[in-house]
Structure 1
């Protein structure tokens, strides 16, 4: 565990971000490996089948990812404030909410897989394989939700390294399993989905063992579970909006997938390969954002206003610089990287991929600022702002899908994501500008009264804690 309320902000954020970055890269290797093995061993139609189900997986599993991050925010605040009873209480409440989310996702995904694919006008030649991949994936959704929640909770206590080790092991296992199940066992696309579920199961098991052996602060007692019913409000207040935010973004991706499906199997394969590379490339930018959730939440709990401002500014600069480098790399090497999925004898697919990265790679700076600022305001507790940003992202992405793709084909597909980033950044940037002024006011008030609180030391807990059931918007503590 690590307390992020003490020490140089930049060094702490970088130290916390690095394991997240490596973990994100390995997590993307899950999908990267699946797509590469499926495309090379099973052919272009199988690759398109996996890609055609991607937006639906993002819609449902993405909700759990966002919700898990939100459910862990009260845990991080309680930890920053030294409220260990609150840590356990909010963890129990989050576990209950996660179990309900897993049940809904599994039921909807398994029962309605084929119907949902038909609604997306999935090409007939890939419908059966896509439905099979989707069904197996959602059958194991409980494992995915469990890992998202456990890893988010562990990170909320300042430990971003240990989940990384588990994720690396699972990624290596997934790579071996997908080759075994798809290649040797001839399970087809179902083998790729099953490999991911089995690999994630190992991560869940490892997280539970870690908590039992080394994290007594998360050892839940009967009274913690009893109190969870009365403590659900705060985790749900932060978790559900973040989950819905991801779902709103995913709906935009669904609309875009519908438009891409109408362009034919070749375009679907090009979009699938491009998205796999894109997700891998933006993992560093996303890691900065995830780190800022925990940093902002812990320092919000400890009332360290200046640290939040400094951390947000410096992390924005670091993320923007990283985005420039990533964009240059992808613009330069897009075609050979995508060739790993489809081989060099698919010039049409490679040309589409190059178009995609010429547009997206050049605008990664916008995405980097969106990741950092959106996660800062989420960590501060302003859950409504990211939801508004997600709605604008939906509008922009859907507009690109319905208008640009129809008139400009795959070029319209390439512009969909950047337009969505611009739309989402506007409310987030405005909200952060206001919160930054409020933080500065709090700093001046504390300076005038000589009452700036001393940062909570991890080895000095428990300490008196603020009432975490109240709204945490700074406007309410002015």
Structure 2
């Protein structure tokens, strides 16, 4: 008999016993706080870069598609690992949980090798395709920034791996701790390395990238240490390791749709940059600022997602239907509160928000109406985000992928292109509310299918 199984604790994991409202906060609040700090340091990063010049801000904004791809691979692989790990723990299959962790580590290692190669090969042509005849300074800044982030991405991918291990077993407080350490490190190093303070070399935009990479490495080390000392439910061992194709298949069955879903944002952002740069480079800077600002309201919701995914997956494995449904309801209410605050901020203080990034008069002229129009979609987005999390946790991540592809590629980008042709720059921003409405309709339809085919058929344990 497997030793791990006999030595496993008899008491059930808190995800199957703790009152749901308290459990959602217990699991999600640390993640939400850490995500808020992540969003804060993303904003601070751009605030300092904007002090250099608008070209520097534009260059960093244009890096967003490939940065999003990097994050999508790390987060999407983590979603697949999370779902399988939590379900295995819910079924008390500890040996499978261990093998899932070691195979996920193998996948993260392969992912880094891919991004290392991309960092040396695709960054320059990627920027050249967007910049065209714009200021060559943007091209220079962008290549310096993005190459650094991708070549040294091992810290970010390692951080994702160890934090998702902690989240899978309900130890989100340690995941929060690692993210806080990384974020604080980044915030402290940003002005020092960008402007050459306290004896450090003045590195400009490259300094922002170096600060980001160092922060990610610090977070990785802290998360790895916390796993080694405190995470005893999942044991990471590579003695005699061989890739398990069945487990890798299960991880990617959920992970690849999640990766694709998040990668679609990269394609959408790239296409939007191409549309906006035809009007003015400042429009792409406004678009980049919007993404930084919206992260402050969406990142806590994504932290909520990270917290509730293992709860839903665990109780699905344990056949606790009522706990699953209550988790969804509680999380929807919390998500709505965050996005409603975002809606109020975008509608009432857009000038103040843009002022954080040393906005020029041209940037304010374009940005103020843009934020107010885009902000309307906050009233809908909360539902679609939580619905996507439910799809992933129940092993139907392909539904999330379909909604994401449809929203961003088949609705948002075509709508932006058509509106740009018909109504000019001001009309482009209406593509966001339009895409969100279509996303809402499809998400509701998929939830009805999920409820009929999966949730209602779960016998209460």
Same-fold status (TM-score > 0.5) = yes
- Decide which of 87, 91, 107 is 2:117's aligned counterpart: 107
- Output the CA distance in 2 between the equivalents of 1:59 and 1:401: 22
- Decide which of 75, 79, 83 is 1:69's aligned counterpart: 79
Name the CA shift for 1:119/1:90 in 2 (closer, same or farther; >3 Å). Answer: same
TM (norm. structure 1) is: 0.87
TM-aligned CA deviation for residue 222 of structure 1:
4.4
- Residue by residue over 1:341-400, the C-alpha shift from the partner in whole angstroms, topping out at 9 and shown as x without a partner, is 115xx2221232222221232321211001101001100000211111122022112113
Secondary structure at 2:172 match in 1? coil
Name the CA shift for 1:3/1:418 in 2 (closer, same or farther; >3 Å). Answer: farther
- Output the CA distance in 2 between the equivalents of 1:196 and 1:222: 30
Q: Does 1:30 align with 2:27?
A: no
Residue equivalent to 1:381: 395
- Output the CA distance in 2 between the equivalents of 1:278 and 1:221: 39
Query: RMSD between aligned alpha carbons?
Result: 2.1
- Decide which of 420, 424, 441 is 1:426's aligned counterpart: 441
TM-aligned CA deviation for residue 299 of structure 1:
1.0
- Output the CA distance in 1 between the equivalents of 2:65 and 2:432: 14
Q: Does 1:130 align with 2:156?
A: no
Contact conserved, 1:156 with 1:294, CA < 8 A, in 2?
yes
Residue equivalent to 2:170: 158
- Residue by residue over 1:158-199, the C-alpha shift from the partner in whole angstroms, topping out at 9 and shown as x without a partner, is 122111112112211111111111101221111101100001
- Decide which of 290, 305, 309 is 2:321's aligned counterpart: 305
Specify every segment of 5 or more residues in structure 1 that has no aligned partner in the other structure, as ranges.
Answer: 447-451, 454-478
- Decide which of 441, 451, 456 is 1:436's aligned counterpart: 451
TM (norm. structure 2) is: 0.90
Report matched runs for 1:389-428 at 5 Å.
Answer: 389-393=403-407, 394-428=409-443
Q: Does 1:332 align with 2:344?
A: no
Specify every segment of 5 or more residues in structure 2 that has no aligned partner in the other structure, as ranges.
Answer: 1-11
- Decide which of 305, 310, 335 is 1:319's aligned counterpart: 335
Secondary structure at 1:4 match in 2? helix
Residue equivalent to 2:6: none
- Residue by residue over 1:119-153, the C-alpha shift from the partner in whole angstroms, topping out at 9 and shown as x without a partner, is 23453431111111111111112221111122122
Q: Does 1:232 align with 2:262?
A: no
Q: Does 1:350 align with 2:360?
A: no
- Output the CA distance in 1 between the equivalents of 2:108 and 2:309: 19
Secondary structure at 1:151 match in 2? helix
Contact conserved, 1:92 with 1:224, CA < 8 A, in 2?
no
Contact conserved, 1:305 with 1:442, CA < 8 A, in 2?
no
- Residue by residue over 1:92-114, the C-alpha shift from the partner in whole angstroms, topping out at 9 and shown as x without a partner, is 11111111112112212331101
Q: Does 1:50 align with 2:60?
A: yes
TM-aligned CA deviation for residue 274 of structure 1:
2.2
Residue equivalent to 1:296: 312
Residue equivalent to 1:8: 19
TM-aligned CA deviation for residue 80 of structure 1:
1.9
Name the CA shift for 1:141/1:401 in 2 (closer, same or farther; >3 Å). Answer: farther
- Output the CA distance in 1 between the equivalents of 2:252 and 2:310: 17
- Decide which of 349, 359, 365 is 2:373's aligned counterpart: 359
- Decide which of 167, 186, 204 is 1:188's aligned counterpart: 204
Contact conserved, 2:298 with 2:338, CA < 8 A, in 1?
no
Contact conserved, 2:130 with 2:274, CA < 8 A, in 1?
yes
Report matched runs for 1:131-280 at 5 Å.
Answer: 131-184=143-196, 185-222=201-238, 225-226=241-242, 228-280=244-296
Secondary structure at 2:311 match in 1? helix
Contact conserved, 1:288 with 1:371, CA < 8 A, in 2?
no
- Output the CA distance in 1 between the equivalents of 2:287 and 2:103: 39
